Amino acid sequence: MKVAIIGGGAAGMSAASRVKALQPDWEVTVFEKSRWVSHAPCGIPFFVGGAVEKFDDLCAYDIEYFRHERGIDVHTGARVIEVDDGILRVNDGGKETTYEWDKLLFATGSKAIKLGVEGEDLDGIIYVDDIENAERVKMEAAKVDNVVVVGSGYIGVEMADAITRLGKNVTVIEVMERPLPEYDAEIAAIIKSEMEKYVNLRLSERVTAFEGKDRVEKVITNKGEYPCELAIIAVGVVPNTDLAKGLVDLGVKRAIKTNSRMETSRENIYAAGDCAESINVVTGKEDWIPLAAPANKMGYVAGVNMAGYEMHYPGSLKSQLTGFKNIEIGKAGLSENEAIRQGYEVVSAFITSRTSARYLPGGLIHLKVVADRKGKLLGLQAVGKDVAMRVYAASALLYKNGDVRDLFFTDFPYYPPVSRVWDPLVVAARNIFRKLGVP
């Protein structure tokens, strides 16, 4: 049996490894357009900022490990040109070659959204969706003084943090009215306050052009202009489904439509990772959730099913963690705005609490819990200190369709340096009780 996998990132290598483990005699071939596999684009800001010293550390395993230890035929620098029934045409190291397949996985990831403005092709303008751009960003940032980051989603916020750690002047331009626009206003206000201490944060501004002779020198917006020797563009991504169009059905946001076995509309063709849709665990609806943890699990499930076994992917919560300087930022499930757009009648509670007992030094956490009028837990957002442990706890409850009573009665451990007898999650749940009329 010949298994072909397009894409050597998280989903692709998880699937390849699973197939080979379950069917060691099958031929498993991975085609990856870059020079690396099992790479971690999420680590790019930490490499740029100096927390990760060596670029190679961004790859979980090297290529030879997969080739020799797992028996996977990995082709790097191999760009798939065309997919047909049982056939792939590949530009493999500059030479066009044809490969046969019996089972196929699309693990082609996502690609950056372009701004579509004048001058965006100038030298010094870099998109950070590709692992190959990490070294370029770090090298170019070292040579300049003024850096503009366009977009303040997770990558934009983390890149702004990283570049300021290099001692550069950073301007962040965001078209929406707050940073991390997926978060509700109460949480975003705290993130905004922290970011303004370190960067020139320009909200509700839209980039209209870049100017410069051969290299970018200035960014023009609908409200002003800013000096710029390096521009980092992080305005979002879309599913990379160019190869799949016309071959399999597309679904949410033009991601590849899949079932819980990661099967597409065509027999023996699967999809996993950022190019594929999945189920949102909270809403129960098809969604597109391009994050690393779901990608790995989707790849695992795809590999199990491609190998002839049975496993189902239940969906994702969109659980996320990030940070800026001294604050952690996290979210699981739906924000209040997202829940309203999904048609829920929403109840929420926003609290600020210490994360340690009052007699010990500690920090503050700002936390928002969202539920519906029946008490079903819909989501959590938090910013401040010790955020990760609260996001983990909420994720587990959301995954099991928990309600506000579950949040209140969960036996969260008490340890004075990092948690309180009445944990902030429990306090928030108690506040929602009052709004629901629970005694």
Q: Which residues contact 321 (CB under 8 A, 6 or more apart)?
A: 328, 329, 330, 387, 388, 391
Is-contact 180 329, C-beta < 8 A? yes
In this structure, how many other beta carbons lie within 10 angstroms of the beta carbon of residue 411?
6
CA pair distance 290, 287, nearest whole angstrom: 10
Residue in 307, 305, 301, 244 with CA at minimum distance from that of residue 111: 244
User: Of the residues 42, 59, 228, 275, which is catalytic?
Assistant: 42
**CA dihedral (124, 128, 133, 135) positive or negative:** positive
The end-to-end CA distance of the chain, in Å, is 62
Kind of pairing between the strands at 27-32 and 230-233: unpaired
Element (H, E) at 137: helix 133-141
The helices-and-strands tally (H runs, E runs) of the chain is: 11, 25
Residue in 287, 272, 274 with CA at minimum distance from that of residue 239: 274
Q: Is 275 a catalytic residue?
A: no
CA pair distance 126, 140, nearest whole angstrom: 10
Where in the sequence numbering do the catalytic residues fall? Answer: 42
